[in-house]
Amino acid sequence: MHYTIMSVGRTSPVSLIFHTEYLIIMNLSIFELAYLGSQAKDTPHSGQHQILRYGKARIVTETTDDRWMREVGLLPQPDRPLTRLLLEAEVESTKQASQAIHSLLLAQPVHLTLQRDSFSLDSLLVLSAEEYLALTTHLNSFFVEDGITLIPSVTHQYWFLKTASPWQLTTQPVQAALYQNIQVWMPQGPDAKKLRQIINQVQMLLHEHPLNQQRGQLGLPEINSIWFSANSFCGQDYVIEPTNNNVLVGDNALTHVVSAICQLPHYEDVSTAAKAGAKHAIMLMDQADNTLWDDVYQAVKSREVQQMTAHFPMVNGTLQVSLSPLDCWKFWRKPNSFESTIKALSRS
């Protein structure tokens, strides 16, 4: 998500950014996780390092996507509807409207590593546009008769698996299963066998694909499987639990979709939200480097924001960092990196 500041007249945009009481910044792990490796990603932004230095950090086991969807009131159906939201937020050409109820799953290219008697989910892979388009065509040609389709994404980093009918199963996200025995994290439920069969077929189709031979020559990990998660039901209403005092901030497709579905007020920036009387603002973002961390930090320090909580996806959980104006003046706290923070919390 891109965060936009709009100045008014000669007033400094910095003074207009945050006037609300609470600000929750969420990273969408579906976009960020591919680049994180085993630790949350460090960036050179001084404001972010100040937040990490002075804020109160803790690790929560809930995945980042589940956390923000719960905050806005989206309930499991049977999993939380991340896949459906992402598809609806994409450009019109990728949408395939249907009145029939069917399942939609997120499909992500991964590399599995063979252990002594099991497979471990070693990494979520980033594909080139050429690799992505070639695999889309190759895999869809084999699934036509099965009544399922891989709908391409504009990100070229994952697909949407569309089934002919709703599948009763629950799945686990990549973020939760990384570096672990995949058997524990495989789909469960009455239709889990169908999805397991697809996984096996995909692995056989990828085994000797020319793309993997090229990747091997370049020293890149093979695309030897696809991870399916976030089973959403399409063709029926979302299951929503009303929330109090929440507003959404940001000018992007996903925020507009979530605002309409959850009937939450939506503002392009926090200044506008504050003038409308908002007390609890949620900003979703998919690119942490585009966030104006210096402005965020200064807004808290100057008490324009009374409390800020940022969520950063990490392997098997979420790093949660909370910052209040009082925290910003505790100069005895030593600077921390994401890695040192996570290591310290993991030992405690």
The string of pLDDT tens digits covering residues 103-119 is: 999 999 999 998 877 88
Residue 168: Cβ-neighbour burial (10 angstroms; 0-12, 13-18, 19+): middle
Q: Indicate the DSSP class of residue 116.
A: S
Distances (CA, A) of 206 to 19, 45, 195: 52, 40, 16
Average pLDDT over residues 259-273: 86
Q: Which amino acid is at 75?
A: L
The answer to which of 8-17, 293-302, 306-315 has the lowest mean pLDDT is 8-17
Tens-digit pLDDT profile for residues 150-183: 999 988 889 999 999 999 999 999 988 988 899 9
**Cβ–Cβ < 8 Å for 308, 322:** yes
Mean pLDDT of the chain: 82
3-state DSSP assignment of residue 171 = coil
Q: For residue 168, which of 239, 101, 219, 264 has the smallest C-alpha distance?
A: 101
Tokens coding 64: 């980042």
Of the pLDDT bands very low, low, confident and very high (cuts 50, 70, 90), residue 6 is very low
Which residue, chain included where needed, has tokens 């399922």?
148
